Every structure is written in C-alpha cells, then in structure tokens.
Amino acid sequence: MEQIEYARMNFFSCEYTRIAYEHLQKAQGEIVDLHSASETQSPCCDPWTQQAIHERNAIVWSIISVVFSAMSIESFIYNYAASHLSDSYVKAHLDSMNPVDKWIIIPRLITGKELDKSTHTYDLLKRVFSDRNKYVHNKSRPLNYDNAKPDDPHLYVSQAANGIKTIEYLAQFIQKIDPIYPVKSNFGIEWDTDE
C-alpha cells in the first residue's frame, strides 16, 4: 500500500479559516453596534455618520471573510489531493479545474465517493465561490439616482456566515468519506452541526 504523506509545507487553510472566522465575528459585532448606534449618541459623530461607519465596516469585514473562506476551501482541496495523489499529478490534471468541480472530482478519485450535487453543502459551495468571484472580480456600474439603494450589510454578513458554514460542512463531508485524514487540523475548525 502506498504511504500517504500528510505533513506538507506552505499549507495555509487553517490560517485562512481563522481569518475568515475572525472577520465574520467582527462583521457580526458591527451589526450589533449598528443597531445600537441609533439609540446612543457618540461624542465623535452624529447617529447617521455612526450608522454609516458600522455599515461600511460590516460590509468590509464580511467581504474579507468570504474571500478567506473561499481561499481556505480551495487550499484544503489542493492539499487533500496532493497528499493522496502527488503534487505532480494534481498540477498536471486537476489544478486548472474550477474549485467547485475539484470538490466533486478529487474526493471521488481518492475515496470513490463524491459530493452529491443535490445537497445543501454543494449549494453553499457554489454560493461561496460565486460571492468570492463577485468581490475579487468586482465591476463598477453606473449609478442610477432614481432607484439607488444602499448596500444591506446584513446580506454581506449572511454571505460570510455561509462561507464558514460551508467550511464546516465540507470538513464533515471529508471526515465521513475519509475518516483517517486529519480534517480538523487541516481545516482548523471544530464543528457541531450536521447536514
């Protein structure tokens, strides 16, 4: 039987997960502060300015969380594949695939089992990369003064929370199909949710 090497260098999925989680917490804190901003007067600024600051911070922290969740997910699946199949095989045959497809193909190559496309986990995975792409490949658009609406920070925080939830569900999926692989230490999470 082939020896699988789990000890690898330059693997940052744990750090990316930590950064995503910490920024989700910051964003959620800004939402709490946003709701209390209208009730309290700050010595630095009026309630409207205070509210705008909390909204902007919640949005920025959420975007950071989404991007780092996607980085964690992509880093993890590369490491998982390279640990089992070799770096040269992954670079030659799998690395150019989109991240969502990697989560279908790589587990199947390694365990014979794949992520079911009809699951909530798969839907979350697609959404994380859709959200990430929207932020990483951002396109400006003309402002329509007739129906311009401010961004809703709650939507951004929800996207960030979905990123963390996706990491948890994907970790559980790999743990279930490959119980020997050190999923928790490679994703850097603990979980208590079930799909």
pLDDT at 7 over 90: no
User: Which own/partner contact pairs does 122-126 have at CB distance under 8 Å and 24+ positions apart?
Assistant: 124/162, 124/165, 124/166, 124/169, 125/73, 125/100, 125/166, 125/170, 126/100
pLDDT at 34 over 60: yes
The pLDDT value recorded for residue 182 is 86
The pLDDT value recorded for residue 195 is 43
**pLDDT band at residue 148, thresholds of 50, 70 and 90?**
low
pLDDT > 90 in the chain, percent = 65
Residue type, 151: D
Query: Rounded mean pLDDT of 109-121?
Result: 97
Coil vs helix vs strand at 9: coil
C-alpha dist (Å) from residue 26 to 23, 30, 53 = 5, 6, 13
Asked if 66 contacts 160 with a C-beta cutoff of 8 angstroms, the reply is: yes
The pLDDT value recorded for residue 119 is 97
Query: Rounded mean pLDDT of 78-92?
Result: 93
Query: pLDDT for 46-66, tens place per residue?
Result: 777 888 888 999 999 999 999
C-alpha dist (Å) from residue 13 to 134, 156, 187 = 21, 22, 6
Cβ burial of 96 (10 Å; 0-12, 13-18, 19+) is exposed
**pLDDT band at residue 38, thresholds of 50, 70 and 90?**
low
Count CB neighbours of 139 within 10 A.
Answer: 5
**The token pair that represents 1 in the structure block:** 């039987």
**pLDDT band at residue 1, thresholds of 50, 70 and 90?**
very low
**pLDDT band at residue 151, thresholds of 50, 70 and 90?**
confident
